[in-house]
Amino acid sequence: MPTITMIAAASENNALGKDNHLLWHLPDDFKRFKKLTSGHPIIMGRKTFASLKEPLPDRQHIIITRDKDYSVSHVDCMVVRSMEEALKVVSDKKLSFIIGGGEIYQLGEPFANKIELTRVHANFDHADTYFPEIDERVWKLIESEYHPIDAKHKYDFTYLTYVREGSGKL
C-alpha cells in the first residue's frame, strides 16, 4: 500500500499562511521539507503551486484545480481536477506527499496515512489558511523533535510525525 503523507508547517492555532505566503521563515524546516519530498510526487492546489517561484527540482508536481482552463507547460507538472484523480496518478508510487494548501489538506486527510507536521510554537490570528485539526483518536504521534529559537529561527518549533491508527505503520 502506498504511503500518502501530508507535510506542513502550522502554528499552535493551525495557521498556515496569509495571502499565499508563509507567516514565518524557518530555514531548517525548508531543508527538512526538501530532504523528505525530493524524489517523490507532491500534490498541491493551484494557489500553492502559484506560490512557488518555479517547480521544485526532483519532484513530480500534481496540481489540483477546478479551473478547467488552467494548464502548466512544465515537464514535471500535471494538472488534475480532484484529489481522487491526483491519488490515482500516484497509486503506483511507494511514497507521495500532499503539500497544501488548506483546502487540499482537508480533501487529502481521509486518504493520508502519515502526517509530517512542523508545529511552530506561536499563534497567528491574521492567517487566512489553516491546517486541519489532528484528531488524536485517528492519529498517533510516533516521533517528536524540538528545535529552539536561534539566530536563524525567530520561532521555536517541533517536528511531529503522526501515523493513522491501524495503518500498520507502527
User: Has residue 119 been placed in a domain?
Assistant: yes
Band (pLDDT 50/70/90 cuts) for residue 169 is: very low
Q: Which three cell numbers stand for residue 64?
A: 489540483
Say if residue 166 is preceded by a cis peptide, omega within 30 of 0. Answer: no
Answer yes or no: are the C-beta atoms of 12 and 122 closer than 8 Å: yes
User: In this predicted model, what pLDDT tens digit does every residue of 91-150 receive, in sequence order?
Assistant: 999 999 999 999 999 999 999 999 999 999 999 999 999 999 999 999 999 999 999 999
Domain that holds residue 121: 3-164
Q: Give DSSP secondary structure letters for 80-121.
A: ESSHHHHHHHTTT-SEEEEEE-HHHHHHHGGG-SEEEEEEES
Domain count of the fold of the chain: 1
User: Has residue 169 been placed in a domain?
Assistant: no
User: Has residue 121 been placed in a domain?
Assistant: yes
User: Has residue 61 been placed in a domain?
Assistant: yes
User: Has residue 170 been placed in a domain?
Assistant: no
Backbone angles phi, psi at 70, to 5 degrees: -75, 135
CATH code of the domain covering residue 108 = 3.40.430.10
